[in-house]
Chain A
Amino acid sequence: MAEQQAAILKPETLVEEFKKNGVTHVVTVPGSETNYLYELMRAQPWLDIIPAASEAQTFAIAFGLMIGKKVPICLIQNTGMLESGNSIRSHVLDSGWPFVFFVGYKGWTRHGATPESVARYTEPFLNAFGITYYLVEHDADGPRISLAFEEARAKNRPVAVLIGDEYHGFNR
């Protein structure tokens, strides 16, 4: 049980990774269970939180922030990502700038059977756009977030981080 607890993805780990990679703004539509992460982010004086009314907005707002040379990320859920295809195309693919966005992997079970269709379409959606992604499920996966930033900077492209721990990590 103790080992299981230690494996849980901690919101603090995400926030540390954001800081390490110079993130200035989080543009977000909350996912299913992100409230603790949201409160933690709001408590960071170096981080601006921008609540958006739709996921498509988050990518366009982030694009505007990047014009002003800030380092935004988007934090959304996979359901909203599916809604955001044209905004992703225009604002983060066509811009050709390094950019990382975080996607709550709703419905991800890791056990083969994936009853929620949104989970089944998540990775094919990213593949269709040619967006590479890193899966983060446990606290030990935290460094993969820095890998995503490194890849985005090296290739001047968007990179996604799929948060596959929807039901544990963000709410206490």
Chain B
Amino acid sequence: MASAISLAIILMSQTKKPVAGKSGSGPGKGGGSAASIARGKVVYESTCLPCHQVDGLGVPNMNPPLSKTKWVLGEKAKLAQIVLNGLPGGQIDIDGDTFHNPMPAQASVLSDQQIADVLTYVRNNFGNKASAVTAAEVKVVRGKVVK
């Protein structure tokens, strides 16, 4: 058992695509585990904050807010897809406001677990309250060919 766990850890560190860890990110009811949220905060601060800002409210006309929008609170697969593959500028529309900076693809930068953590963090911060995202859910999206 212990060796299986260490094998899993080795695999995680090598591939950066960990298998869905039941240990850290159980899908809570409108929450997500505290551990996942805490890890997600670290990912947010190093990767997302420069554009989406400390308060998650983005920059007018440039970088969209992450607070109570349909993009963040909506379909998880679609949200994970945006993080994995990025999005050209101008495609996000929130109440008639458009945002012109592109979202850079994170597929080669963040692991499934990191994406799950940061999305869980975002969905439970900045005034949001929504279900957790798991690494397994991210993995499914990563495996798909995205048009």
A and B from one complex: no
